[in-house]
């Protein structure tokens, strides 16, 4: 029996590549996605992804998506309670695993494992400890297409936001910046790749700076 799995969907390249890898695992059946959103902005935090674009991504992946909206501001206790309620309902749906696109951040992995420890749901980390130079090359070779939707201005200039994540862009990254943005240097929104049945047409809209970050509005067309 294949394990029914829900994938944490950030809307970026790492969660998209996780979907691609999980679908190649004969022991796993990905049956849906879920995204955590800022309730006030109605967007995925840090990625700044519009809900309409999330829905387009889910359609392109051929999967249903759940959106979990957190208030802003939101305490850790409130966040844990909302997420705990969501996870509690998954067992009734037969969900056996939740997959995450984490790479190296041990504290994040430990937090996720702790949150799921007594639920009966197994956490999966399909990208865990894959070297990011290798990972970026694999993604790009396979045709994954993504746009940089936010950058940390302490680590990258605002000129990088709104650009397509590509080999050319990677060559321009300052020394010490991870090619996958694993240290929070940047976040992406995926619009195409082998995990999608069709490419999503988008336009790059307004670019704003807020709280030390630059954000590009990635807008789905039609």
DSSP codes of every residue in 20-32? HHHTT-TTEEEEE
Q: Coil, strand, or helix at residue 38?
A: strand
Per-residue model confidence as pLDDT tens digits over 202-211: 999 999 999 9
Q: Which of the two residues, 21 and 71, has the higher pLDDT score? A: 21
Distance of CA 66 to the CA centre of its chain: 14
Per-residue model confidence as pLDDT tens digits over 73-98: 889 999 989 998 899 899 889 999 99
Domains and CATH numbers, the chain: 3-124 (3.40.50.620), 141-220 (no CATH)
Q: For the chain, give the percent of residues with pLDDT over 90.
A: 83
Q: Are 47 and 11 in contact (CB under 8 A)?
A: yes
| Confidence at residue 71, expressed as pLDDT on a 0 to 100 scale | 87
Query: Token digits for 48?
Result: 């700044």
Question: Which residues sit opposite 146 in a β-bridge?
Answer: 190
Q: Are 147 and 189 in contact (CB under 8 A)?
A: yes
What DSSP character marks residue 160?
G
Average pLDDT of every residue of the chain:
95
Q: Is the pLDDT of residue 118 over 80?
A: yes
| Confidence at residue 163, expressed as pLDDT on a 0 to 100 scale | 98
Q: Is the pLDDT of residue 222 over 80?
A: no
pTM, 2 dp: 0.95
Query: Token digits for 10?
Result: 């950030």
What phi-psi label fits residue 212: left (phi over 0), alpha (psi between -120 and 50 degrees) or beta? Answer: left
């Amino acid at each position: 029996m294949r394990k029914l799995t829900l994938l944490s969907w950030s809307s970026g390249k790492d969660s998209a590549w996780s979907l691609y890898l999980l679908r190649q695992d004969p022991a796993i059946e990905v049956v849906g996605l879920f995204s955590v959103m800022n309730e006030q902005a109605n967007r995925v935090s840090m990625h700044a992804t519009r809900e309409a674009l999330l829905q387009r991504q889910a359609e392109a992946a051929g999967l249903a998506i759940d959106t979990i909206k957190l208030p802003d501001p939101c305490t850790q206790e409130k966040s844990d309670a909302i997420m705990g309620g969501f996870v509690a309902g998954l067992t009734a749906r037969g969900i056996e695993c939740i997959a995450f696109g984490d790479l190296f951040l041990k504290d994040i992995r430990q937090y996720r494992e702790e949150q799921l420890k007594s639920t009966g749901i197994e956490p999966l980390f399909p990208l865990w400890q894959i070297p990011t130079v290798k990972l970026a090359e694999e993604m790009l070779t396979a045709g994954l297409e993504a746009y940089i939707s936010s950058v940390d201005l302490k680590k990258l200039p605002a000129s990088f936001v709104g650009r397509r994540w590509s080999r050319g862009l990677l060559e321009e990254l300052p020394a010490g910046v991870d090619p996958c943005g694993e240290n929070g240097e940047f976040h992406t929104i995926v619009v195409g790749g082998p995990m999608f049945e069709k490419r999503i047409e988008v336009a790059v809209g307004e670019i704003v700076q807020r709280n030390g970050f630059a954000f590009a509005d990635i807008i789905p067309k039609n």
